[in-house]
Amino acid sequence: MLALSLGQSSAPYVRSRVEAGDTTTQCLFWTAPKLSWYQSTVGNPDTKPAGSEFDAVRRSFQGWQTIFAGCGNLSLEEGGRVDDRSVGYEVGGQNRNLVLFRLRSCADVAPSSDPCWGDDSCGNAYDCWSNDAQTIAVTLTTYDQKSGIIYDSDIELNSPSFTFTTSDGALCPPRVNLNCVSTDVQNTMTHEIGHFVGLDHTNFTGSTMNPRAPPGETTKRSIDSGSHAFVCESYPKGQASQSCIQPTADPNLGRKAQVAGCASTGAEAWLPALAGWALLLVRRRKGARA
From the number of C-beta atoms within 10 Å of its C-beta (0-12, 13-18, 19+), residue 21 rates as middle
At residue 272, the pLDDT reads: 29
Per this entry, what is the length of the chain? 290
Mean pLDDT of the chain: 84
Any idea what DSSP says for residue 238? T
Boundaries of domain holding 78:
2-279
In a domain, 77, yes or no: yes
251, 277, 230, 252: which is closest to 71 by C-alpha? 230
Residue spans of alpha helices (H) in the chain = 2-6, 53-71, 106-109, 116-119, 122-126, 185-196, 225-234
In a domain, 287, yes or no: no
Q: Please determine, for residue 65, whether its predicted confidence score (pLDDT) is greater than 80.
A: yes
In a domain, 225, yes or no: yes
CA 244 to chain CA mean position, Å: 21
In a domain, 28, yes or no: yes
CB 272 within 8 A of CB 192: yes
3-state secondary structure of 264: strand
227, 210, 221: which is closest to 181 by C-alpha? 221
In a domain, 289, yes or no: no
Q: What is the CATH number of the domain that holds 85?
A: 3.40.390.10
In a domain, 288, yes or no: no
C-alpha span between 40 and 57 (Å, rounded): 11
At residue 269, the pLDDT reads: 27
At residue 281, the pLDDT reads: 28
Q: Phi/psi of residue 140, each to 5°?
A: -105, 115
C-alpha span between 271 and 8 (Å, rounded): 13
Which comes out higher in pLDDT, residue 223 or 264? Answer: 223
CB 268 within 8 A of CB 288: no
From the number of C-beta atoms within 10 Å of its C-beta (0-12, 13-18, 19+), residue 71 rates as middle
Helix/strand/coil percent split, the chain, to 5: 20, 30, 50
∠17-19-21 over CA atoms, to 5°? 70
Which comes out higher in pLDDT, residue 35 or 175? Answer: 35
In a domain, 95, yes or no: yes
Residue 262's pLDDT band, with cuts at 50, 70 and 90, is low
At residue 239, the pLDDT reads: 96
pLDDT in tens, 5-47: 445 688 999 999 998 889 999 999 999 999 999 999 999 999 9
pTM: 0.86
- Residues 122-149: what's their mean pLDDT? 91
- Residues 87-93: what's their mean pLDDT? 87
Q: Please determine, for residue 217, whether its predicted confidence score (pLDDT) is greater than 70.
A: yes
160, 162, 139: which is closest to 209 by C-alpha? 139
Which amino acid belongs to residue 288?
Answer: A
In a domain, 285, yes or no: no
- Residues 131-157: what's their mean pLDDT? 90
CB 58 within 8 A of CB 15: no
Contacts of 200 (CB under 8 A, 6+ apart): 8, 14, 15, 16, 17, 20, 21, 209, 273, 274
pLDDT in tens, 188-201: 999 999 999 999 99
pLDDT in tens, 227-261: 999 999 999 999 999 999 975 544 444 556 666 65
In terms of DSSP bridges, do strands 212-213 and 34-40 run parallel, antiparallel, or are they unpaired?
unpaired
Residue 213's pLDDT band, with cuts at 50, 70 and 90, is confident
Q: How many domains does the chain divide into?
A: 1
In terms of DSSP bridges, do strands 135-144 and 150-158 run parallel, antiparallel, or are they unpaired?
antiparallel
Per-residue HEC secondary structure of 154-189 comes to EEEEECCCCCEECCCCCECCCCCCCCCECEEHHHHH
In terms of DSSP bridges, do strands 255-265 and 199-200 run parallel, antiparallel, or are they unpaired?
unpaired
At residue 221, the pLDDT reads: 97
Omega within 30 of 0 (cis) for the link into 272: no
